[in-house]
Structure 1
Amino acid sequence: MDKPVSELPRFVRCWKICCSLIFLLSLPLLAYGADDLRVLVVLSESLTPYQTFAKTFRQNLPSNILVSVLEHPEEFSVNDQQADLIVTVGVKATDLMMDKAAPVLAVMIPSTMYLDLQIKQTRVKQISAIYIDQPLSRQVALLSAALPESRRVGVLYSEGSRIDLKELHNELDRQGYKLIAKKMQGSETLSSDLDDVLEHSDVLLAIPDSNIFNSSYIRNILLSSYRQHIPLVGLSQAYVNAGALCAIFSTPEQLAAQASAEVLLFAQSRHLPGPQPPALFTIAVNREVARTLDITIKSPDSLHMQIENRGGVKR
């Protein structure tokens, strides 16, 4: 299936927002001549998204903030202990840095992991996070913008899922939707459980539940939804490329811009802000899927603007 066409106006607008934010935050740092800050960026793996984050993060910071990158967290050394702040990228890196002395800003982690971080840490220190998942209000806003006539939202979840069904139900109800949720009894019942959800739904919403939405099952999930003419709203560009109708997510560049802005604030106050969702986001649409399902959907740029107007960038 064709990849969604890049939306230049949306990219330019987001990039200007990032640049303006970083420029404004850097003014007080330069004006007051803060001491050099040593930041260690620890990547979970040497994968392209993590590398992209590290490159953009470094480019967004002034020269008096000294950035080093550790691609393999298990290789943390005595020299790395001199960092004033550790920025972890991904779950693995975050897990391995919790016992280090320096404050930790965890990026690209699920929001459900943050409470675990506070429990896990063996030192009394500052920790904060920029989540990888979008706020529920923003996800529901995408449903409203992309599929205004689809009022029944199907969700399939597993025993190990950490989704807050009550919060999701309340957010859907607030925006005029009905939640159709079903717990998968086991991998052997995935097909029948999914069919049951789809039978009573207008749209299927993917959630960050790796027991269900993984590379082994996603093809069958998409085929089942096609058979019942039910669109899937995914979690990333990869979902849209695979056959989801649309998705809302934040790119590594957007998360890096937000993280670098927080580091500039930390350089001034030596204090990390509270955990937060992504401030900037991207919309992707698969038009071939829309044609197949006979769905009229707006452009990613129009959807993005509509969500922003509904307060989709609020923290």
Structure 2
Amino acid sequence: MVASFRFLFLLAVLLPLPAGAGDGFAVRLLVSDDNSYAQRAGVRLEALLRQAEPAITQEPWAPGASGRRLTVTVGAKAWRSYGAEAEMEGPVLAVAPTRPAFEEYHRTGGQVAAIHLEMPPGRIFNLIQAAMPQRTAVGMLASVSTLVGPQSRGQLGRFEASAAERGLRLVSEMVEAENEVGPAVERLVRQSAVFLAMPDPVVHTANTVQPLLLLTYRASVPVIGYSESYLKAGAILAIYATPEQIAQQAFETILAYRQGKALPATQVPRYYTVRINDTVARSLGLTLPLAVDLEGRLRQMRE
């Protein structure tokens, strides 16, 4: 691993196993230092490991030591650095990388698992229909639009199929650069009732989000966001996993693996948050259910 890359954490945690299960179970925690989300998730995960029962003690990571080991990366940068520049020693759990980043450095042959941040498409369309049935009733304005860029286009087929299962039509456009976003949004809002923001570093940037939200607002098309910051910027509602929720899921996965269960190859967020921007909803003349009620309904719906 190159010396110029610095992790916020490089920790070794020794988790005792039941008697007779081996010499120990070591976890090496590598956390990206380039974004606050990964740092918050890393801090919370470290705290959970310390508080686990039976008691957890921390020891320096010793390559070649006896016992079972698990490397846990938190954030895309930590995953990229470990996956690209280091020899993977034993199983790896990649927490909160983007799907494109994970797939880019996912080596075949090793035991590698991931907990992604992206919500499954069925959950998102369930939310849209539960929150705004007046806009998504089949036979009425049943079109949802979205923009996809170089990294998100591979997910488009899954989203189109999931929308169709629910009687919705997903209208999309592909863009290759930031300057294509505005014109594409103007075309999309003329044929849709809801705009879905799909994570993509070309589509949603510091230069594009505000113009996108302004264009959709002027067209009275509500935007569904994928983060707390998108909600605050002007999306009508958002669904996302907080750093603490992702850390909890990672912790549970680590403990299950420690107890002898296999690492799930890929996980979507088990815990998630729905939030509503009441100011935007009032401005658009829409009355939405309470966020807590939406969360409850989502957990009862098939994804």
> Which range, TM-score by smaller chain?
0.7 to 0.9
Q: CA deviation at 1:214?
A: 1.4
Give the number of aligned pairs. 275
Q: Cα 1:34–1:46, aligned 2, differ >3 Å: closer, same or farther?
A: farther
CA contact (8 A) 1:153 1:202 kept: yes
Aligned pairs for 1:201-240 within 5 A = 201-240=192-231
Partner AA of 2:117 in structure 1: I
Q: CA deviation at 1:162?
A: 3.4
Aligned pairs for 1:48-87 within 5 A = 48-60=36-48, 61-66=52-57, 79=62, 84-87=69-72
Q: CA deviation at 1:30?
A: 5.4
The DSSP-based 3-state class of the residue aligned with 1:100 is coil
Once the two structures are superposed, what CA deviation does each residue of 1:197-254 show, in whole Å capped at 9, x if it has no partner?
Answer: 0110101100011101112110000110111011110011111111100111111111
Q: CA deviation at 1:175?
A: 0.9
Percent identical across equivalent pairs? Answer: 27
CA distance in 1, matches of 2:59, 2:192: 49
Residues 1:116 and 2:104 aligned together: yes
Once the two structures are superposed, what CA deviation does each residue of 1:96-149 show, in whole Å capped at 9, x if it has no partner?
Answer: 222331321001112344433334x6xx43110001111111111111111112
Partner AA of 2:194 in structure 1: V
Report 1 or 2 for greater relative contact order, CA contacts < 8 Å, sequence distance ≥ 6: 1
CA distance in 2, matches of 1:157, 1:138: 19
The structure whose residues are more often helix, as a share, is 1
Partner AA of 1:59 in structure 2: A
Residues 1:130 and 2:120 aligned together: no
Q: Cα 1:48–1:190, aligned 2, differ >3 Å: closer, same or farther?
A: closer
CA distance in 1, matches of 2:98, 2:26: 26
CA contact (8 A) 1:39 1:65 kept: no
Aligned pairs for 1:290-305 within 5 A = 290-305=281-296
Match in the other structure for 1:88: 73
CA distance in 2, matches of 1:183, 1:220: 17
Partner AA of 1:288 in structure 2: T
Match in the other structure for 2:27: 39
Match in the other structure for 1:147: 132
Once the two structures are superposed, what CA deviation does each residue of 1:45-104 show, in whole Å capped at 9, x if it has no partner?
Answer: 1644333322322333335544579xxxxxxxx847758111100111011222331321
Structure 2 unaligned runs (5+)? 1-14, 136-141
CA contact (8 A) 2:76 2:102 kept: no
Residues 1:157 and 2:148 aligned together: yes
CA distance in 2, matches of 1:218, 1:209: 11
CA distance in 2, matches of 1:149, 1:140: 14
Match in the other structure for 2:173: 182
Match in the other structure for 1:277: 268
Match in the other structure for 2:9: none
Residues 1:193 and 2:184 aligned together: yes
